Structure 1
Amino acid sequence: MTDRPPRPARRTRTPRLQRGIPLRAILPNAVTALALCFGLSGIRFAIGGMWDTAVVMVLIAAVLDGIDGRIARLVRAESRFGAELDSLSDAISFGVTPALILFLWSLHDVPRIGWLVALVYALFCALRLARFNAQIDQTEQPHKSAGFLTGVPAPAGAMLAMVPIYLWLVTELPLFREPMLVAPWLFLVAVLMVSSIATWSGSALKLRQRIRFEAIAVLVVLAAAIVSAPWQSLTAIALLYLGSIPFSVRSYRRVRRLRAAGPAPASAAEPNAREP
C-alpha cells in the first residue's frame, strides 16, 4: 500500500480591501473641499476687516455645497465618505466661519456674551449636522420621507445669520452693528438650526412640467437682482425664507394628516440623502 501525497491546503480567499475612493467620486468631493476652502477664506478676510468679501466667501461655499450632492448623484458617486466630508465642510463653512465673522464684526464689543453666543451658534450647527449623520441610515424619518428637512439647514442658517451685515452694508447705520441686536439674532438662528420644525427642501419644491419655464425665469431674475443689488437682494431672500417657515410647518402638518388618512400622495418628494 503506497502512501498518497498530502492534499494541498485549500486556499481561502481573503476579502479585498477597498483602496481609497472610486475615481468617479473625485469630482463631487473636490467640489466639497473647494467649498471648505472658500468657507475658511471667509475667516481670513474677516480678520483683515474685508467684511463684504468675507460674506461673499461664505455665499460661494453655500453655492458649491448646493451642487456637490447633485454632481455625486449625477455620476453615481454617493458614498459615506462624501457625506462625512460634506458635513465637516458645512460645520466649518456655515458654523465656525459665520460665528467668527460676526464676532470680529460686532460681538467683540461685548466679549463674554458675544463669544458665548458665537460658540452657541457654532455648536448648534455642529449638533444639527451630527443629528443628520446619526439619522442618515434610519428608514423612519417623518420629515425626510415627506420631502421636508428638520430645522433650518446649515447653509440657510449662515445666510440668515449674516442679515445684520447685509443691512449694515446697505445703510451703513451703526444700529445694525450693535451687539445687543446681533447677539439675539444669532441666537435665534442657532435655535432654528437645531430645532425640530419642518422646513422646505429642494426636493419638496419639485415643480410640475408646465411651470418649470416660469421657475427658470424667476431664477434668472433673482440672479440678475443679486448681481445688480447683492445686499438688498440677499436681505430680501433671507427674510422671505424666514417668513416661509410657518407655511412649511403648516404644509408638513397637512401632508402628515393625508398620510395618516390613506396612502401617500403622488406628489410626495423623494428624500435627499446628502442634504444636511
Structure 2
Amino acid sequence: MIGKWFPALRYWNLANAITTGGAVCGMLAMVFFVKGHFGLAFTLYGAAILGDYVDGIIARKLKQTSNFGKEIDSLADAISFCVLPAIAGYTLGVTSPLGIAALVLYLIAGLWRLAFFNVSGLEEGGRHSYYTGVPTTIAASWLLVLSPLMLAGDFPGREAALAVAFAICGMLMLSAVPFRKNGPATKALYVLLPAAVVLNWIVVG
C-alpha cells in the first residue's frame, strides 16, 4: 500500500536508510554551523562521512545494491561533501571575495566530480582499483582533519590558508590524479577523523 501511494519508498532498505541518515546529518551539521555550535556541527559532519562508508558495506553484504541506491548516494554526497564543507568554511571565517570564490570552486568541483564518477566509474590497475581524481568523501574528510586548526583561534593568514585548502581540494577532485581505492590515504582517516572530532570538542569547550 505504501509503495502504491509513495512509489519511491519501494526502494527503502537498510543501506538506503543509512545513506538518507548521512544526508540528514549533513543538513543538521549545516544548521549547527550557522548557529555557531561547532563541536556538534563537526561531530555530525563526521557522522555523515561514517554513513557514506557504512552504507556501501551494508549494500554489498545484504545484496541491496541498486541503481536507485547509487543515485541517492550521489545526492547525499552532494549535500554532505560539497555543500556542507563550503558552509563550514564560510561560518569559520572564509568570507572575503577571494575566500568565497575558493568555496564556490570547491562546491562546483565536488558536483562535477560526482557526475564524472557516475559516468566513468573506477579504473582497474593491477590488483587495485583507482578513482580519477580525489573522491568528494576524501576531500571533505581531509578538511575535517584540518578542522581543529580552523577552530584553534585567529592567526595571521588564517582565512587565506583555509581558502587555499578549499581551492586545492577542489582542484584535486577535478584532476586526473589516480587515487587508489582503500589506499593508505584513506586508511589513515580511520584514525585521524575520530581524533579530529575529539580535538574539536576540546578546542571549543
Name the structure 1 match of 2:19.
Answer: 32
Count of aligned pairs between the two proteins: 192
Deviation at 1:184, TM superposition (A): 1.1
Q: What SS class does the counterpart of residue 78 from structure 1 fall into?
A: coil
Q: Are the counterparts in 2 of residues 167 and 231 from structure 1 also a CA contact under 8 Å?
A: no
Deviations along 1:197-253, one digit per CA (max 9) or x if unpaired, are 112212x67xxxxxxxxx9xx999x49x94698338xxxxxxxxxxxxxxxxxxxxx
Specify every segment of 5 or more residues in structure 2 that has no aligned partner in the other structure, as ranges. 1-6, 201-205
Name the structure 1 match of 2:147.
Answer: 165
**Letter paired with 1:113:** L
Greater length-normalized contact order (CA 8 Å, ≥ 6 residues apart): 2
Deviation at 1:141, TM superposition (A): 3.3
- Match of residue 196, structure 1, among 152, 176, 180: 176
The 2-side partners of 1:143 and 1:128 are apart by 20
- Match of residue 127, structure 1, among 109, 112, 121: 112
Structure 1 runs (4+) deviating above 6 angstroms are none
Distance 1:105 1:133, change over 3 A: same
Deviation at 1:73, TM superposition (A): 0.8
- Match of residue 198, structure 2, among 230, 236, 243: 230
Name the structure 1 match of 2:4.
Answer: none
Q: What SS class does the counterpart of residue 107 from structure 1 fall into?
A: coil
- Could you say which structure has the larger radius of gyration? 1
Deviation at 1:45, TM superposition (A): 0.4
Greater fraction of residues in helix: 2
Percent of aligned positions that are identical: 26
Distance 1:176 1:186, change over 3 A: farther
Q: Please give the root-mean-square deviation of Cα atoms over the aligned residues, in Å.
A: 3.1
The 2-side partners of 1:156 and 1:195 are apart by 14
Which TM-score applies when normalising by structure 1?
Answer: 0.61
Specify every segment of 5 or more residues in structure 1 that has no aligned partner in the other structure, as ranges. 1-18, 206-214, 233-276
Does 1:56 find its partner at 2:43? Answer: yes
The 2-side partners of 1:67 and 1:30 are apart by 11
Q: What SS class does the counterpart of residue 63 from structure 2 fall into?
A: coil
